[in-house]
Amino acid sequence: PRCFALVPCAGVGERAGVGGPKQYHPVAGQAVVAHTLSSLQRVPELEATLVVLSPTDTQFEQHVPGFESERGWVARVGGATRAESVLNGLNELMERGVGAHDWVLVHDAARCLLQPAHVQALIAACEDDEVGGLLALPLADTLKDAVADDAGLRVRATVDRSGKWAAQTPQMFRLGLLRPALLQALSDPETAAQITDEASAIERIGHQPRLVPGAYENFKVTWPGDFSLAERLLHPR
Ligand code: C5P
């Protein structure tokens, strides 16, 4: 089986507070997604990378010129949620000849500090697995369950963090397993809202994805301060 990457890049990124999609915000002289894609292009095990854009995207070509000349594919099939964007991207991969047994590594456009070695560690850990798996980090902070009151928020309880991991990407599953899992999860609006990564859809159909230790730097640019943090990690002084 071959390995392909699928990068959902069709979000609006409101939490980042930069007045536009965060994947196009500059970090160290290049758009966030340009860093992400150049990391993936340095992984020799990947046959090609498909980027899923919003149908109304006007910025990708300007920020990542010439992407389609080097093992790069683009599809303007982004959906209303990340999971819909990924499912539409899987359909596009099928049309381009990717088979049910081939592996698809889904990676967030907004995780721009991914290193090729992280991807290779995931592939090495999962390529002989029945199910597949994901990069993740054990939780370092103590977890609080919050409740709102008149003045703001209060702690309702502390959640036991032992055995809890924070899911990252890439998440690596066979096309023929991930596609039906997402189709089923998205068919019911109530469960669809809980599908915030690929592994959650795989778990819903009864499988246990493998957890592979990731790296702290592989965080998802989400909040306003994350751009300068990413910049310092890319260009340490
Ligand atoms: O918003 P969030 O940080 O969870 O987005 C994770 C990734 O999914 C981002 O790369 C974003 O562009 C992508 N996404 C998408 N389609 C959506 C929502 C998010 O491709 N409708």
Q: Return d(Cα 16, Cα 223) in angstroms, integer.
A: 4
Q: How confident is the model at residue 136 (pLDDT cuts 50, 70, 90)?
A: very high
Does position 34 have pLDDT exceeding 90, yes or no?
A: yes
Per-residue pLDDT tens over the stretch 171-211: 999 999 999 999 999 999 999 999 999 999 999 999 999 99
Neighbours of 202 (CB within 10 A): 23
CB-ligand 1 contact for 54 (6 Å cutoff): no
Instruction: Tell me how far CA of residue 63 lies from CA of 23, 33, 59, 148, 163, in angstroms.
Output: 10, 8, 6, 41, 40
Does residue 143 register a pLDDT over 80? yes
36 lines ligand 1 (CB under 6 A): no
Q: What's the mean pLDDT in 206-231?
A: 95
Please give the domain boundaries of the chain with CATH numbers for all domains. 3-135+167-234 (3.90.550.10)
Q: How far is the CA of 144 from the centre of ligand 1 (A)?
A: 25
CA 227 to centroid of ligand 1, rounded, Å:
16
Res 15 pLDDT > 90: no
Query: What is the band of 224 on the pLDDT scale with cuts at 50, 70, 90?
Result: confident
- 136: enclosing H helix or E strand: strand 132-138
Query: Is 10 touching ligand 1 by the criterion CB < 6 Å?
Result: yes
Confidence at residue 149, expressed as pLDDT on a 0 to 100 scale: 94
Distance of CA 9 from the midpoint of ligand 1 (Å): 6
Query: Based on the number of CB atoms within 10 Å of its own CB, is 89 exposed (0-12), middle (13-18) or buried (19 or more)?
Result: buried
* Average pLDDT score, the chain: 95
Non-local CB neighbours of 88 within 8 Å, separated by 6+ positions? 52, 75, 77, 78, 79
Task: Say what the pLDDT of residue 236 is.
Answer: 73
Determine the residue of 50, 52, 82 to mutate for testing ligand 1's pocket, defined as the one with the most ligand atoms within 8 A of the Cβ atom: 82
pLDDT in tens, 35-76: 999 999 999 999 999 999 999 999 999 999 999 987 999 999
Residue 111 has pLDDT above 80, yes or no: yes
Q: How far apart are CA 119 and CA 38, in angstroms?
A: 13
pLDDT at 235: 83
Residue nearest to atom 11 of ligand 1 (CA): 11
Tell me, in angstroms, the distance from the centre of ligand 1 to residue 151's CA.
32
Q: What residues pair up with 137 in beta bridges, in sequence order?
A: 166
Task: Label residue 19 by pLDDT band (50, 70, 90).
Answer: confident
- Output the pLDDT for position 170: 98
Q: Is the CB of 109 under 6 A from ligand 1?
A: yes
Q: How many Å apart are CA 45 and CA 71, to the nearest integer?
A: 12
**pLDDT interval class at 24 (50, 70, 90):** very high
Among 18, 108, 111, the mutation site with the greatest number of ligand 1 atoms within 8 A of its Cβ is 108
ipTM over 0.95: yes
| pLDDT at 237 exceeding the cut of 90 | no
Instruction: Give the Cα separation of 23 and 111 in Å (integer).
Output: 9
- pLDDT score, position 13: 72
